[in-house]
Amino acid sequence: MENVHFLPAGKMGKSGSMDKLLEPFTGCGNLDPTDLMAVKIHPGEEGNSSHLKPGEVTEVISALHPGTSRIFLTDTTVLYPGKRMNAPDYLVLAAKHGFTPPDTPPFVVADGLRGYDELEVPLPGRDGRTAHVASLIAEVDALVVISHFKGHLLAGFGGAVKNLGMGCASKAGKLIQHSSVKPVISENRCTGCGICAAHCRADAISVRKTARIDADSCTGCGECLDRCPTGAVRVSWNRNMNAFMTRLAEHAWAAASVSRPVLFVNFVTRIVPNCDCMADTDPPLVDDVGILASIDPVALDKASLDLVTAAPPSGNSPVRAGAGEDKFRAFRPDIDGELQLRLAESMGLGSRNYRLAEVSH
């Protein structure tokens, strides 16, 4: 059973509170001064406002007092057109969101110019399947994963496991994970409004009388599911979700196994129902919970989920789920987000059993 250290929201921002939270991890495991330490973040899609903030990331790094100054921020490119699809555009967006020197360590894209730099990792006992991890993740001497814990279109919620699994995957790895999620249109529900097509970043939807999805162009991002006002976009979740979550857990295991993860930190704040890949931001499901840290990504996400479940809904929450109810499940009843943690646990990535250690002052 792993410790998950917890700084409640009420103590955040107080002098020395982050130092106290991260005291057990000071030094990040005896790094040499010449070691290269990557800090995996998600700097946010253009137009998103709920993403991690530069000050939050630098506060974590300062409190860790790593034994090296060779520190950089990193993330991978994505599958859909926009400002995160190739390295030069991504650097410009990261800088626009404040992730650039001198305010933060430099930002480096982990999977190369176009997302093809990768390491193919065999998955033991998985019928010869492999995972595709960004090559930089496998090269660094230490990896700190800082995640913003919030809802997600396909995974139910996203925290450390998703940041490892999807966030450290190359483009091929992301495609493998999404390939099981190909939505279809229910014609009798479709009004032909075109909202889905307007938001499909892969240009995979055409609309005449009703919408039609070109499965070859579809990247399986899931955005049309969320955008359709009539519920006409459908996915066979029982079959597809299991496959998606399995690939996600496999890629998380692979990223951790080829790298040297030294710490996972979840900011359980601005807990919106959608991920930071979305250009807009909904009201939060619950008020800020706090910041959690552990060396076990599964325990960390389970503790984060339990705290969000235990919290009452925020004043303007988009769901009515009360204290003790799973807010992410209430927002997306078809998606069992905790499945990712059960699968990750079964692969040996971590344990859902944890001990919550609250910062004492």
Contact between 254 and ligand SF4 (CB under 6 A)?
Answer: no
Of 202 and 249, nearer to ligand SF4 (C-beta) is 202
Q: Of residues 43, 44, 156, 183, which one binds ligand SF4 by CB under 6 A?
A: 183
Q: Of residues 232, 258, 343, 349, which one binds ligand SF4 by CB under 6 A?
A: 232
Distance, in Å, from the CA atom of 177 to the CA atom of 173, rounded to the nearest integer, reads: 6
Q: Of residues 26, 30, 49, 230, which one binds ligand SF4 by CB under 6 A?
A: 230
Distance, in Å, from the CA atom of 280 to the CA atom of 272, rounded to the nearest integer, reads: 10
Distance, in Å, from the CA atom of 111 to the CA atom of 146, rounded to the nearest integer, reads: 18
Q: 171 - beta bridge partners? A: none
Label each residue of 171-233 as H, E or C. HHHHHHHHCCCCCEECCCCCCCCCHHHHHCCCCCEEECCCEEECCCCCCCCCHHHHHCCCCCE
Contacting range for ligand SF4; rule: CB under 6 A; set: 85-93, 94-102, 155-163, 202-210: 202-210
Q: Of residues 16, 27, 55, 192, which one binds ligand SF4 by CB under 6 A?
A: 192
For the four alpha carbons of 99, 103, 104 and 110, in that order, the dihedral sign comes to positive
Contacting range for ligand SF4; rule: CB under 6 A; set: 32-40, 91-99, 189-197, 277-285: 189-197
Of 64 and 190, nearer to ligand SF4 (C-beta) is 190
Q: How far is CA 150 from the centre of its chain?
A: 8
Contact between 221 and ligand SF4 (CB under 6 A)?
Answer: yes
Q: Please tell me the count of residues contacting ligand SF4 according to CB under 6 A.
A: 29
Q: Of residues 213, 241, 311, 321, which one binds ligand SF4 by CB under 6 A?
A: 213
Q: How far is the CB of 79 from ligand SF4 (least distance, A)?
A: 8
Cβ proximity of 277 and 220 under 8 Å: no
Find the DSSP H helices in the chain: 17-22, 54-64, 87-96, 135-139, 160-165, 171-178, 195-199, 223-227, 237-258, 297-310, 327-331, 339-346
Cβ proximity of 350 and 253 under 8 Å: no
Q: How far is the CB of 76 from ligand SF4 (least distance, A)?
A: 18
Q: How far is the CB of 83 from ligand SF4 (least distance, A)?
A: 17
Q: How far is CA 86 from CA 90, 116, 173, 269, in A?
A: 6, 10, 16, 29
Q: Of residues 59, 118, 141, 223, which one binds ligand SF4 by CB under 6 A?
A: 223
Cβ proximity of 253 and 348 under 8 Å: yes
Q: Which tokens belong to 181?
A: 């999620």
Q: How far is the CB of 51 from ligand SF4 (least distance, A)?
A: 20
Of 138 and 213, nearer to ligand SF4 (C-beta) is 213
Contact between 184 and ligand SF4 (CB under 6 A)?
Answer: no
Buried b (16+ CB within 10 A) or exposed e, 9-47: eebbeeeebbebbbeebeebbebeeebbbbbbbbbbbee
Q: Of residues 194, 322, 333, 348, which one binds ligand SF4 by CB under 6 A?
A: 194
Of 79 and 341, nearer to ligand SF4 (C-beta) is 79
Q: How far is the CB of 192 from ligand SF4 (least distance, A)?
A: 5
Contact between 279 and ligand SF4 (CB under 6 A)?
Answer: no
Contacts (CB under 6 A) with ligand SF4, residues 135-164: none
Cβ proximity of 151 and 331 under 8 Å: yes
Q: Of residues 64, 119, 134, 204, which one binds ligand SF4 by CB under 6 A?
A: 204
Q: How far is CA 303 from the centre of its chain?
A: 16
Of 63 and 181, nearer to ligand SF4 (C-beta) is 181
Contact between 190 and ligand SF4 (CB under 6 A)?
Answer: yes
Chain residues in the site for ligand SF4 (CB under 6 A): 183, 185, 190-196, 200, 202, 204-205, 207, 210-211, 213, 218-224, 227-228, 230, 232-233
